[in-house]
Amino acid sequence: MQVLLADEYGFCFGVERAVQMVEEALGHGARVRTLGPLIHNTQEIARLEAEGVRTISSPAEVGAETTAVIRAHGVTPGVQRELEARAERVVDATCPFVTKVQKLAERAAAEGRDVVVVGNPDHPEMIGVKGYAPRNAHVVRDASEVAGLPRLHAPLVVSQTTLKLKTFLEAADAVRARADAEPQIVNTICSATRDRQDAARSLAGHVDAFYIIGGRHSSNSIKLLSVCKEQCGRSSLIETPDEIDAEDLRGARRVGVTAGASTPNWLIEQVVARLKEIGAAQEEEEATVAR
Protein backbone atom coordinates (compact mmCIF):
# COMPACT_ATOMS: atom_id res chain seq x y z
CA MET A 1 0.00 0.00 0.00
CA GLN A 2 1.35 3.38 -1.01
CA VAL A 3 0.83 6.35 1.30
CA LEU A 4 0.80 9.64 -0.60
CA LEU A 5 0.89 13.08 1.00
CA ALA A 6 -0.77 16.01 -0.76
CA ASP A 7 1.66 18.65 -2.08
CA GLU A 8 0.49 21.17 0.54
CA TYR A 9 -0.73 20.14 3.98
CA GLY A 10 -0.59 20.95 7.67
CA PHE A 11 0.62 24.09 9.43
CA CYS A 12 0.36 27.30 7.44
CA PHE A 13 3.22 29.78 7.64
CA GLY A 14 1.58 31.94 10.33
CA VAL A 15 0.66 29.06 12.64
CA GLU A 16 4.08 27.43 12.30
CA ARG A 17 5.75 30.74 13.12
CA ALA A 18 3.52 31.25 16.19
CA VAL A 19 4.29 27.77 17.54
CA GLN A 20 8.03 28.34 16.97
CA MET A 21 7.87 31.64 18.85
CA VAL A 22 6.19 29.91 21.80
CA GLU A 23 8.83 27.15 21.73
CA GLU A 24 11.59 29.79 21.78
CA ALA A 25 10.03 31.53 24.78
CA LEU A 26 9.76 28.18 26.58
CA GLY A 27 13.41 27.54 25.75
CA HIS A 28 14.30 30.68 27.70
CA GLY A 29 12.43 29.32 30.72
CA ALA A 30 9.51 31.77 30.41
CA ARG A 31 6.08 31.29 32.01
CA VAL A 32 4.10 31.45 28.77
CA ARG A 33 0.48 32.58 28.57
CA THR A 34 -1.34 32.79 25.24
CA LEU A 35 -4.31 35.09 24.85
CA GLY A 36 -6.85 32.61 23.48
CA PRO A 37 -5.85 29.13 22.29
CA LEU A 38 -2.69 29.40 20.20
CA ILE A 39 -4.01 26.94 17.65
CA HIS A 40 -7.23 25.01 17.00
CA ASN A 41 -5.83 21.56 17.59
CA THR A 42 -6.55 19.69 20.81
CA GLN A 43 -3.49 17.43 20.60
CA GLU A 44 -1.03 20.28 19.96
CA ILE A 45 -2.58 22.36 22.75
CA ALA A 46 -2.21 19.38 25.11
CA ARG A 47 1.45 19.02 24.11
CA LEU A 48 2.11 22.73 24.75
CA GLU A 49 0.25 22.58 28.07
CA ALA A 50 2.48 19.70 29.11
CA GLU A 51 5.41 22.06 28.47
CA GLY A 52 3.84 24.67 30.76
CA VAL A 53 1.91 26.88 28.32
CA ARG A 54 -1.43 28.16 29.63
CA THR A 55 -4.30 29.78 27.75
CA ILE A 56 -5.85 32.92 29.21
CA SER A 57 -9.01 34.65 28.05
CA SER A 58 -8.27 38.25 29.03
CA PRO A 59 -5.17 40.48 29.44
CA ALA A 60 -6.23 40.94 33.09
CA GLU A 61 -5.08 37.36 33.73
CA VAL A 62 -1.47 38.15 32.78
CA GLY A 63 0.89 38.14 35.74
CA ALA A 64 3.98 40.36 36.01
CA GLU A 65 6.41 37.47 35.60
CA THR A 66 4.88 36.01 32.50
CA THR A 67 5.47 36.13 28.78
CA ALA A 68 2.22 36.95 27.00
CA VAL A 69 1.79 35.64 23.47
CA ILE A 70 -0.39 37.29 20.83
CA ARG A 71 -1.52 34.54 18.48
CA ALA A 72 -1.51 34.62 14.66
CA HIS A 73 -4.97 36.32 14.44
CA GLY A 74 -3.58 39.47 16.10
CA VAL A 75 -5.30 41.78 18.61
CA THR A 76 -6.40 45.42 18.80
CA PRO A 77 -3.74 48.05 19.69
CA GLY A 78 -5.59 48.56 23.00
CA VAL A 79 -5.24 44.89 23.97
CA GLN A 80 -1.60 44.91 22.90
CA ARG A 81 -0.90 47.93 25.14
CA GLU A 82 -2.64 46.26 28.06
CA LEU A 83 -0.55 43.12 27.61
CA GLU A 84 2.62 45.21 27.42
CA ALA A 85 1.69 47.02 30.62
CA ARG A 86 1.07 43.79 32.55
CA ALA A 87 3.49 41.16 31.22
CA GLU A 88 7.22 40.93 31.66
CA ARG A 89 7.48 40.40 27.91
CA VAL A 90 5.07 40.25 24.96
CA VAL A 91 5.72 37.91 22.06
CA ASP A 92 3.77 39.19 19.07
CA ALA A 93 3.04 36.17 16.88
CA THR A 94 0.54 38.05 14.69
CA CYS A 95 0.87 36.54 11.21
CA PRO A 96 2.62 39.06 8.92
CA PHE A 97 -0.28 38.68 6.45
CA VAL A 98 -2.65 39.89 9.19
CA THR A 99 -0.28 42.70 10.17
CA LYS A 100 -0.47 43.91 6.58
CA VAL A 101 -4.28 44.24 6.83
CA GLN A 102 -3.98 46.05 10.18
CA LYS A 103 -1.45 48.55 8.77
CA LEU A 104 -3.52 49.23 5.64
CA ALA A 105 -6.59 49.92 7.80
CA GLU A 106 -4.61 52.14 10.17
CA ARG A 107 -3.15 54.23 7.34
CA ALA A 108 -6.47 54.72 5.54
CA ALA A 109 -8.15 55.75 8.81
CA ALA A 110 -5.34 58.23 9.52
CA GLU A 111 -6.10 59.76 6.11
CA GLY A 112 -9.75 60.15 7.15
CA ARG A 113 -10.98 57.50 4.74
CA ASP A 114 -13.54 54.78 5.33
CA VAL A 115 -12.34 51.18 5.61
CA VAL A 116 -14.50 48.26 4.55
CA VAL A 117 -13.27 44.91 5.83
CA VAL A 118 -14.99 41.89 4.32
CA GLY A 119 -15.13 39.02 6.82
CA ASN A 120 -16.78 37.62 9.89
CA PRO A 121 -17.16 40.48 12.42
CA ASP A 122 -17.00 38.01 15.34
CA HIS A 123 -13.70 36.47 14.27
CA PRO A 124 -10.71 37.52 16.42
CA GLU A 125 -8.76 38.59 13.32
CA MET A 126 -11.54 41.01 12.34
CA ILE A 127 -11.91 42.36 15.88
CA GLY A 128 -8.17 43.06 15.86
CA VAL A 129 -8.20 44.78 12.45
CA LYS A 130 -11.19 46.95 13.41
CA GLY A 131 -9.20 48.12 16.42
CA TYR A 132 -6.72 49.77 14.03
CA ALA A 133 -9.46 51.95 12.53
CA PRO A 134 -12.11 52.04 15.25
CA ARG A 135 -14.09 55.00 13.90
CA ASN A 136 -13.66 54.32 10.18
CA ALA A 137 -13.87 50.54 9.78
CA HIS A 138 -17.03 48.69 8.76
CA VAL A 139 -16.86 44.90 8.86
CA VAL A 140 -19.29 43.24 6.43
CA ARG A 141 -19.78 39.54 5.79
CA ASP A 142 -20.62 39.93 2.09
CA ALA A 143 -22.05 42.22 -0.61
CA SER A 144 -25.57 42.09 0.86
CA GLU A 145 -24.35 43.83 4.03
CA VAL A 146 -22.70 46.66 2.08
CA ALA A 147 -26.17 48.03 1.28
CA GLY A 148 -26.64 48.86 4.96
CA LEU A 149 -23.51 51.06 5.13
CA PRO A 150 -23.58 54.87 5.01
CA ARG A 151 -22.09 56.72 2.01
CA LEU A 152 -18.37 55.87 2.03
CA HIS A 153 -15.52 58.34 1.70
CA ALA A 154 -12.58 57.23 -0.55
CA PRO A 155 -12.83 53.74 0.94
CA LEU A 156 -10.19 51.11 1.32
CA VAL A 157 -11.56 47.57 0.86
CA VAL A 158 -9.65 44.67 2.40
CA SER A 159 -10.55 41.11 3.35
CA GLN A 160 -10.25 38.62 6.18
CA THR A 161 -7.26 36.46 5.25
CA THR A 162 -9.32 33.26 4.99
CA LEU A 163 -12.19 34.68 2.92
CA LYS A 164 -13.39 33.23 -0.40
CA LEU A 165 -12.27 35.35 -3.36
CA LYS A 166 -15.77 35.45 -4.86
CA THR A 167 -17.24 36.91 -1.64
CA PHE A 168 -14.52 39.57 -1.54
CA LEU A 169 -14.89 40.62 -5.17
CA GLU A 170 -18.69 40.86 -4.91
CA ALA A 171 -18.42 42.98 -1.76
CA ALA A 172 -15.76 45.22 -3.36
CA ASP A 173 -18.11 45.79 -6.31
CA ALA A 174 -20.94 46.71 -3.98
CA VAL A 175 -18.67 49.21 -2.19
CA ARG A 176 -17.99 50.95 -5.51
CA ALA A 177 -21.69 51.84 -5.74
CA ARG A 178 -21.70 53.47 -2.29
CA ALA A 179 -18.41 55.38 -2.51
CA ASP A 180 -17.75 59.04 -3.32
CA ALA A 181 -14.51 58.08 -5.12
CA GLU A 182 -13.01 54.98 -6.73
CA PRO A 183 -12.28 52.60 -3.82
CA GLN A 184 -8.79 51.26 -3.16
CA ILE A 185 -9.33 47.50 -3.35
CA VAL A 186 -6.57 45.36 -1.83
CA ASN A 187 -7.06 41.61 -1.90
CA THR A 188 -5.57 40.46 1.42
CA ILE A 189 -6.72 36.83 1.16
CA CYS A 190 -3.98 34.39 2.14
CA SER A 191 -3.50 31.46 -0.24
CA ALA A 192 -2.78 28.85 2.49
CA THR A 193 -6.34 27.49 2.70
CA ARG A 194 -6.87 27.43 -1.07
CA ASP A 195 -3.47 25.81 -1.72
CA ARG A 196 -4.30 22.96 0.69
CA GLN A 197 -7.68 22.40 -0.97
CA ASP A 198 -6.21 22.45 -4.50
CA ALA A 199 -3.48 19.96 -3.53
CA ALA A 200 -6.01 17.63 -1.84
CA ARG A 201 -8.35 17.83 -4.85
CA SER A 202 -5.64 16.89 -7.31
CA LEU A 203 -4.55 13.88 -5.23
CA ALA A 204 -8.05 12.64 -4.31
CA GLY A 205 -8.81 11.37 -7.83
CA HIS A 206 -5.78 9.06 -7.75
CA VAL A 207 -6.21 7.22 -4.46
CA ASP A 208 -8.51 4.50 -3.08
CA ALA A 209 -8.88 6.07 0.37
CA PHE A 210 -8.08 9.48 1.84
CA TYR A 211 -7.39 10.58 5.42
CA ILE A 212 -7.73 14.22 6.42
CA ILE A 213 -6.06 14.90 9.76
CA GLY A 214 -7.57 17.77 11.69
CA GLY A 215 -9.90 18.87 14.46
CA ARG A 216 -13.52 17.82 14.08
CA HIS A 217 -14.51 21.46 14.66
CA SER A 218 -11.81 22.93 12.43
CA SER A 219 -13.61 24.58 9.52
CA ASN A 220 -10.65 24.29 7.15
CA SER A 221 -10.33 20.54 7.91
CA ILE A 222 -14.06 19.98 7.33
CA LYS A 223 -13.75 21.80 4.01
CA LEU A 224 -10.78 19.60 3.06
CA LEU A 225 -12.94 16.53 3.80
CA SER A 226 -15.70 17.72 1.48
CA VAL A 227 -13.19 18.54 -1.28
CA CYS A 228 -11.69 15.01 -1.01
CA LYS A 229 -15.12 13.32 -0.88
CA GLU A 230 -16.01 14.80 -4.28
CA GLN A 231 -13.37 12.54 -5.84
CA CYS A 232 -12.80 9.79 -3.32
CA GLY A 233 -15.80 8.29 -1.50
CA ARG A 234 -13.57 6.62 1.11
CA SER A 235 -12.43 9.92 2.62
CA SER A 236 -12.40 10.33 6.41
CA LEU A 237 -11.59 13.11 8.85
CA ILE A 238 -9.53 11.86 11.79
CA GLU A 239 -7.87 13.58 14.74
CA THR A 240 -5.41 10.83 15.71
CA PRO A 241 -3.99 7.58 14.23
CA ASP A 242 -6.10 5.53 16.70
CA GLU A 243 -9.18 6.37 14.67
CA ILE A 244 -7.95 4.46 11.61
CA ASP A 245 -9.79 1.17 11.23
CA ALA A 246 -7.55 -1.31 9.36
CA GLU A 247 -10.66 -3.01 7.91
CA ASP A 248 -11.57 0.21 6.07
CA LEU A 249 -8.31 -0.13 4.14
CA ARG A 250 -8.87 -3.64 2.77
CA GLY A 251 -7.98 -3.66 -0.90
CA ALA A 252 -6.71 -0.06 -0.91
CA ARG A 253 -3.55 0.21 -2.97
CA ARG A 254 -3.02 3.96 -2.70
CA VAL A 255 -3.99 6.07 0.32
CA GLY A 256 -3.90 9.86 0.33
CA VAL A 257 -3.15 12.02 3.38
CA THR A 258 -3.58 15.70 4.04
CA ALA A 259 -3.99 17.86 7.14
CA GLY A 260 -5.65 21.10 8.17
CA ALA A 261 -3.65 24.29 8.76
CA SER A 262 -3.60 23.67 12.54
CA THR A 263 -2.39 20.07 12.44
CA PRO A 264 1.18 19.62 13.69
CA ASN A 265 3.73 17.58 11.78
CA TRP A 266 4.31 15.07 14.57
CA LEU A 267 0.65 14.03 14.38
CA ILE A 268 0.83 13.70 10.59
CA GLU A 269 3.95 11.52 10.94
CA GLN A 270 2.12 9.26 13.42
CA VAL A 271 -0.79 8.80 10.97
CA VAL A 272 1.55 8.04 8.06
CA ALA A 273 3.45 5.51 10.19
CA ARG A 274 0.17 3.81 11.23
CA LEU A 275 -1.02 3.60 7.62
CA LYS A 276 2.29 2.07 6.53
CA GLU A 277 2.06 -0.44 9.37
CA ILE A 278 -1.47 -1.46 8.32
CA GLY A 279 -0.36 -1.68 4.67
CA ALA A 280 2.61 -3.91 5.55
CA ALA A 281 0.43 -6.20 7.73
CA GLN A 282 -2.19 -6.59 5.00
CA GLU A 283 0.42 -7.31 2.33
CA GLU A 284 1.96 -9.93 4.60
CA GLU A 285 -1.48 -11.50 5.10
CA GLU A 286 -2.16 -11.56 1.34
CA ALA A 287 1.22 -13.14 0.70
CA THR A 288 0.51 -15.86 3.30
CA VAL A 289 -2.87 -16.66 1.71
CA ALA A 290 -1.27 -16.85 -1.76
CA ARG A 291 1.40 -19.30 -0.61
Residues 6+ apart with CB under 8 A from 129: 74, 98, 101, 102, 105, 117, 137, 139, 158
Residues forming the site for ligand SF4 (CB under 6 A) = 12-15, 72, 95, 97-98, 161-162, 190, 192, 261
| Closer to ligand SF4 by Cβ: residue 144 or 265 | 265
The residue with its CB nearest to ligand SF4 is 14
| Closer to ligand SF4 by Cβ: residue 139 or 192 | 192
Q: Compute the least distance from the CB of residue 50 to ligand SF4, in Å.
A: 24
Q: Which is catalytic among the residues 8, 44, 125, 239? A: 125
Q: Compute the least distance from the CB of residue 101 to ligand SF4, in Å.
A: 9
Q: Compute the least distance from the CB of residue 203 to ligand SF4, in Å.
A: 21
Compute the radius of gyration of the chain from its Cα atoms: 22
Q: Compute the least distance from the CB of residue 12 to ligand SF4, in Å.
A: 3
CA angle 106, 166, 142 (to 5 degrees): 60
| Closer to ligand SF4 by Cβ: residue 72 or 207 | 72
| Closer to ligand SF4 by Cβ: residue 15 or 32 | 15
> What are the C-alpha distances in Å from 27 to residues 51, 52, 53, 89, 163?
10, 11, 12, 14, 35
Side chain identity at residue 29, one-letter code: G
Whether 243 is a known active-site residue: answer no
In sequence order, what E strands does the chain have?
2-5, 31-35, 54-56, 66-70, 89-92, 115-118, 137-140, 156-159, 184-185, 209-213, 235-238, 254-259
Catalytic residues: 125
